[in-house]
Copies of this chain bind each other. A is one copy, B any other.
Amino acid sequence: MLLTLDLVGIFVFAISGGLVAVRNQLDIVGVVVLAMATGLGGGVIRDVVIGAVPPPAVKDWWYLLVPVVGGLVTFWWHPAVGRLERVINVFDAFGLGLFCVAGALKAHEYGLGPVPAAALGMVTGVGGGIIRDLLVGRVPVIFRKGQLYAIPALAGAAVASTGAELGLAGELVVGPAAAVTIGWRLLALNRGWTAPLPRT
**Residues of A at under 8 Å CB distance from B?**
21-22, 24-31, 33-34, 44, 48-51, 53-55, 58-61, 64-65, 75-76, 78-79, 110-113, 115-116, 119-120, 130, 134-140, 142-145, 147, 149-151, 194-199
Query: What's the nearest-Cβ distance from chain B to residue A123, in Å?
Result: 10
Given A49-B58, A58-B119, A195 and B112 contact (CB-CB distance below 8 Å): no
CB pairs A–B below 8 angstroms (27 shown): A24-B139, A25-B197, A26-B139, A27-B144, A27-B145, A27-B196, A30-B142, A30-B144, A31-B198, A34-B143, A48-B48, A48-B53, A49-B54, A50-B53, A50-B58, A51-B51, A51-B54, A54-B110, A58-B120, A59-B113, A64-B115, A64-B119, A79-B199, A130-B135, A134-B135, A137-B137, A137-B138
A13 to B144 CA separation, bound complex (whole angstroms): 21
A134 touches which of B111, B134, B199 (Cβ 8 Å):
B134
